[in-house]
């Protein structure tokens, strides 16, 4: 836990709200090496899916290839409508904090659009890595779904998370703020087509 985390906003602004089950489908292919750990990745995917459900997005996890090491290479066989995510193991040091655990390329239309520094997450959070990974995945996917580079003052799209946020994550996933739910629904075309978008946030 670094100072940056410790001095982050102490007021818990992200409620431990429930998520919603229905919504448009987002196909996601997650590439990870064997170091990531099957149960860690599996639990993280479940948490990310629960958070994205709070924005009316249902994740359909496609089978990704194992890609050992830190080199992120897009799979040419992956369709453009699928979101490709790479868990990079190579970066193990650096600042702590959700937004430096990965990055998104929201203006890119295909290829790997989300990179997550799995090695850094493991080094910083140890046995808590699955919970943090789940939130990092939801955070970065949120950037892609909104199609802009911005952060919110609350919810999973905050730039920095407090210790209270981390405690909250352990109990229940930190979901999207209502403003992010609106932006995701406006930008993600399949949401409108599906017609099953939940009204407002889920806090
Ligand atoms: Zn961010």
- Output the average pLDDT for the chain: 75
Ligand 1 centroid from CA 186, angstroms:
19
83 inside domain:
yes
Q: Residues 6 or more apart from 203 whose CB is under 8 A from it?
A: 15, 17, 175, 177, 178
pLDDT for position 2: 40
- The CA 179 to ligand 1 mean position distance, Å, reads 15
CA of 136 to the centre of ligand 1 (A): 9
Tokens of 33: 């090496």
The verdict on residue 105 lying in a domain is yes
Name the range with the highest mean pLDDT among 106-110, 124-128, 161-165: 124-128
pLDDT of 17 over the 50 cut: no
What is the Å distance from ligand 1's center to 95 Cα? Answer: 14
State in Å: Cα 105 to ligand 1 middle. 10
Q: How does pLDDT run across 43-85, given as a tens digit for each residue? A: 999 999 999 999 999 999 987 666 554 344 555 555 556 888 9
Cβ distance 55 to 176 under 8 Å? yes
Ligand 1 centre distance from Cα of residue 157 (Å): 6
Q: Which domain holds residue 164?
A: 19-193
Helix (H) or strand (E) holding 39: helix 38-53
CATH assignment at residue 166? 3.40.390.10
- Percentage of the chain beyond pLDDT 70 is 68
Residue 117 Cα to ligand 1 middle (Å): 13
Q: Give residue-wise pLDDT tens across range 91-124.
A: 666 665 555 888 888 877 777 889 899 988 888 8
Question: How many separate domains does the chain show?
Answer: 1
- Residue 88 inside a domain? The answer is yes
Query: pTM score, two decimals?
Result: 0.76
Distance from the CA of 173 to the center of ligand 1, in angstroms? Answer: 17
Is 5 within a domain? no
């Amino acid at each position: 836990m670094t100072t940056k985390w410790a001095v982050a906003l102490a007021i818990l602004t992200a409620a431990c709200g429930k998520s919603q089950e229905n919504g448009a489908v987002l196909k996601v292919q997650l590439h990870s090496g064997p170091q990531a750990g099957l149960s860690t990745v599996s639990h993280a995917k479940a948490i990310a899916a629960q958070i994205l459900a709070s924005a009316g997005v249902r994740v359909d996890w496609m089978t990704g290839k194992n890609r050992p090491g830190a080199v992120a290479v897009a799979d040419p066989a992956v369709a453009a409508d699928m979101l490709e995510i790479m868990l990079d193991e190579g970066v193990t040091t650096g600042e702590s904090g959700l937004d430096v655990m990965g990055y998104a390329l929201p203006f890119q239309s295909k290829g790997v659009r989300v990179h997550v520094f799995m090695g850094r997450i493991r080094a910083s959070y140890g046995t808590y890595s699955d919970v943090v990974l789940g939130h990092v995945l939801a955070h970065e996917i949120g950037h892609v779904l909104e199609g802009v580079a911005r952060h919110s003052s609350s919810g999973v799209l905050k730039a920095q998370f407090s210790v209270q946020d981390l405690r909250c994550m352990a109990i229940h996933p930190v979901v999207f703020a209502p403003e992010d739910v609106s932006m995701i629904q406006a930008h993600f075309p399949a949401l409108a087509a599906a017609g099953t978008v939940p009204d407002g946030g889920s806090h």
